[in-house]
């Protein structure tokens, strides 16, 4: 079989599309899962949160209002960062699963088209 033996039929086009969408779906889903497992609960975020909490407690003990206010703002920003990262991870995971489902649907459509 050579490259010239490949004919461009509707079934072949659907099969190639289904394989490409499936592979992209798997990659997207795995990327989302990786983001959820690595980024949202990263070591740096935990360290920065612990240090900010200690800074806020020191500010309260020494009655420094500006220090407490800035530490609170930093804590809120870190919480938003974690929520945003988790949101991106969930979105990519759902998008990947949707693409895998579409690839399966495309594969099922191959049988319904007459050659």
pLDDT single digits (tens) 23-78: 999 999 999 999 888 865 666 666 666 666 666 666 656 666 565 566 667 667 76
SS3 content of the chain, % helix, strand, coil (to 5): 85, 0, 15
Give CA–CA dist 48/7, Å, rounded.
Answer: 59
- Whether the predicted pLDDT of 104 surpasses 60: yes
103 burial via Cβ count (<10 Å: 0-12, 13-18, 19+): buried
Give CA–CA dist 49/78, Å, rounded.
Answer: 7
Domain edges within the chain? 10-110
> Which two structure tokens, joined as six digits, stand for 109?
């459509």
> Which two structure tokens, joined as six digits, stand for 7?
């004919």
pLDDT tens readout for residues 47-62: 666 666 666 666 656 6
């Amino acid at each position: 079989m050579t490259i010239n033996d490949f004919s461009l039929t509707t079934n072949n086009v659907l099969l190639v599309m289904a394989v490409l969408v499936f592979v992209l779906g798997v990659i997207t889903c795995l990327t989302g899962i990786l983001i959820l497992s690595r980024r949202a609960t990263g070591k740096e975020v935990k360290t920065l949160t612990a240090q900010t909490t200690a800074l806020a407690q020191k500010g309260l003990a020494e009655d420094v209002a500006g220090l407490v206010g800035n530490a609170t703002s930093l804590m809120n920003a870190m919480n938003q960062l974690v929520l945003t990262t988790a949101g991106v991870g969930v979105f990519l995971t759902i998008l990947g699963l949707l693409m895998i489902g579409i690839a399966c649907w495309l594969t099922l459509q191959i049988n319904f088209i007459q050659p």
